[in-house]
Amino acid sequence: MRRVSLTQYLVEQQRKQGIVSAELRLLIEVVARACKSISNAISKGALAGVLGGAGSDNIQGEAQKKLDVIANDVLVEANEWGGHLAAMASEEMDLPLSIPNRYPKGEYLLVYDPLDGSSNIDVNVSVGTIFSVLRCPEGVVEPDEKAFLQAGSKQVAAGFAVYGPATILVLTVGNGTVGFTLDREMGSWIMTEEKIEIPVDTKEFAINMSNARNWTPPIKRYIDECIAGSTGPRGKDFNMRWVASMVADVYRILSRGGVFMYPVDAKHTGGRLRLLYEANPMAFIVEQAGGAAINGPQRIMDVQPEKLHQRQGVILGSKNEVELVGRYYSESK
């Protein structure tokens, strides 16, 4: 079998398809290299003293773990000097970070969640890194928050790494969704999924059931029907999975189908997940794999962001299932 590395894949996209510029290729490779280093730190766990709290809160008032801070620093250090970025924004930083003046500036903006699912770190369950790439708007020299407020449909690339039993990188540059596995001995990302396709139908749903009493009618209707299984209107039994790391739940859906939901509810009135760091990149990846991603009434990638750290309802995965949930939203108006 021909072993295709991430570099080869990107060069091929650049040469044959003309969709990846040299600068974008460098950017993706730098992020992927940072993910290797985060994977390495995570895999050492308590031996490297990286578990536990950092003793600080992020902008959304969530307690930061040591690894949230380490992962964020790794991504900043890896990306600030290469000349491919104009600025970056992270779930763990209050404001966008401009590239220091001593380094050249590039044409892209990088947005990321350095360590998704970080409540799972201390219990040795998969976590990950999610990223999204936007173009810096024309004429903007010092990008501030406004430069980042672009709809998900403007993304030029998105990806995520899952630090699980194997470390996997999922990527889209707008030409399908591909998967790479980290070969630890060689230190390289090897393509292991050339064209990820999410089955359009599913018998598996993922939602935090402890929010059930807060759900809106369309979500309650959909989940009640799944639970009714073969005795209800769906006429088939469903199974449920909830890892509580979006990266792991979405990777499962990319592998075998399913629907993942963190909808707006009475407790999470604007949703729970972040639009720029989580919802948009995952929506792009899922759509490029033949799935769908909505916030309830609307396609996620059509939402115009108003704030950097804005949250959003998320329902994504197998196309027919997501469309059914969307129909329940329009019928409940």
Give min distance, CB of 249 to ligand F6P, in A: 6
Among 43, 208, 239, 269, binds ligand F6P (CB under 6 A): 208
Sign of the torsion formed by the C-alpha atoms of 10, 168, 170 and 158:
negative
The partner in contact with residue 265, picked from ligand F6P, Mn ion, none with C-beta cut-offs of 5 to 8 angstroms by kind, is none
**DSSP-assigned letter for residue 256:** H
Question: Stretches 34-42, 112-120, 191-199, 207-215: which one binds Mn ion (CB under 5 A)?
Answer: 112-120
Question: Stretches 4-12, 113-121, 140-148, 169-177: which one binds ligand F6P (CB under 6 A)?
Answer: 113-121
Q: How many residues bind ligand F6P (CB under 6 A)?
A: 8
Question: Stretches 28-36, 39-47, 168-176, 240-248: which one binds ligand F6P (CB under 6 A)?
Answer: 240-248
> Buried b vs exposed e over 262-284: b needs ≥16 C-beta within 10 Å?
bbbbeebeebbbbbbbbbbbbbb
Contact 295, 282 (CB under 8 A): no
Number of helices (H) and strands (E), helices first, in the chain?
8, 17
Contacts of 247 (CB under 8 A, 6+ apart): 116, 117, 126, 127, 128, 129, 130, 160, 161, 162
116 near Mn ion, rule: CB under 5 A: yes
Give min distance, CB of 261 to ligand F6P, in A: 10
Q: Which is nearer to Mn ion, 9 or 160 (CB)?
A: 160
Among 68, 80, 92, 116, binds ligand F6P (CB under 6 A): 116
Angle at 129 between CA 283 and CA 246, to 5 degrees: 50
The partner in contact with residue 271, picked from Mn ion, ligand F6P, none with C-beta cut-offs of 5 to 8 angstroms by kind, is none
The tokens of 154 are what? 């403007």
Restricted to residues 245-304, the positions that interact with ligand F6P (CB under 6 A) are: 245-246, 273
The partner in contact with residue 296, picked from ligand F6P, Mn ion, none with C-beta cut-offs of 5 to 8 angstroms by kind, is none
228 near ligand F6P, rule: CB under 6 A: no
**Of 163, 158, 164, which Cα lies nearest the Cα of 178?**
158
Give min distance, CB of 298 to Mn ion, in A: 21
Q: Which is nearer to ligand F6P, 68 or 80 (CB)?
A: 68
The tokens of 124 are what? 């040795």
Among 96, 106, 114, 117, binds ligand F6P (CB under 6 A): 117
Give min distance, CB of 116 to ligand F6P, in A: 5
Angle at 169 between CA 165 and CA 174, to 5 degrees: 155
Give min distance, CB of 128 to ligand F6P, in A: 8
Give the side-chain half-sphere CA count within 13 A for 135. Answer: 9
**Of 205, 32, 44, which Cα lies nearest the Cα of 128?**
32
Footprint on this chain of ligand F6P (rule: CB under 6 A)? 116-117, 119, 208, 244-246, 273
